[in-house]
Structure 1
Amino acid sequence: MIIALLVGALVGYVLAIPPGPIGMASVRTGLRDGWRQAIKLSVGAGLLDLIYCSLAMWASSWVVDLSVRWKGATLSLHSPSNWSSSSS
């Protein structure tokens, strides 16, 4: 019973891996050069994904911060308190 559960979990985990170019390259490298080289390839691809995602998060945070600053400046210029002082 436990073995069937573990095999099912392993098969489910393997089937959840999306087939992509890096996955296929890892399989090809593993079959050709051994599993150690395939692990190195997979870890390298994961690190590059981490760097790419970090840069994307930083850039989107910067854009949101910039838009909040511009929106705040726009609201302070067009607030009702400035309307009454400009009409005098």
Structure 2
Amino acid sequence: MLATALTGAMIAISFSAPPGPVTMETIRRGLRGGFSPALRVQLGSIIGDFMWFLIALIGLGQLAQIAVIRGALAIIGVGLLLYLGFCGIRDTFKSAAPGVTQGSAIDMKQGAFRSGLAISIANPMAIGYWLSIGGTLVATGVAGQSGGETASFVLGFVAGTFAWAFMMAFAVRFGKQILHPNLFRTINFVCGAALMIFGIALARQMLS
């Protein structure tokens, strides 16, 4: 069972680790608000990822191939990514220092969980992953296994996602302490621009 749990954890981390919209939003909110908003983005993303995980696990992935559902998710994703990207670029000019003030912490906490959840649910990379590679890996991990092995796999997956969430939040929290103000602003701008680029790329994919 331990090996099965480790397999689930590795699959979770392999999906969470590559930089994407959730990572950019985690860094953006964490640099201005600290550990809590960064973690909230990650926790929201976990809920969204786990939703796709369950869809792949129970074999309902074809639902996401329905044009209306896929189109609605894409529209929501484009709007959300463009808006968050705009907020990131706008915030670049609000403060030159990475210190956490009470106001900035409160601002960054508001909607952090919801933004992580929404990005994850409407993220085309998440959808594509779980309907292809991720779905295959999940099927391989639990196929022909006992109930205990399946439970171990799921628990390992959940543990892996939470482990990555805390590692990301801690990395942003402690990394911001050594940032020069100009580098802080540059990273904030890059994260905002990256979110907008993700949104534009999703829009082009939707229209192609």
Task: With the length of structure 1 as denominator, give the TM-score of the two structures.
Answer: 0.46
Task: With the length of structure 2 as denominator, give the TM-score of the two structures.
Answer: 0.20
> Radius of gyration: which is bigger?
1
Bigger RCO (CA 8 Å, 6+ sep): 2
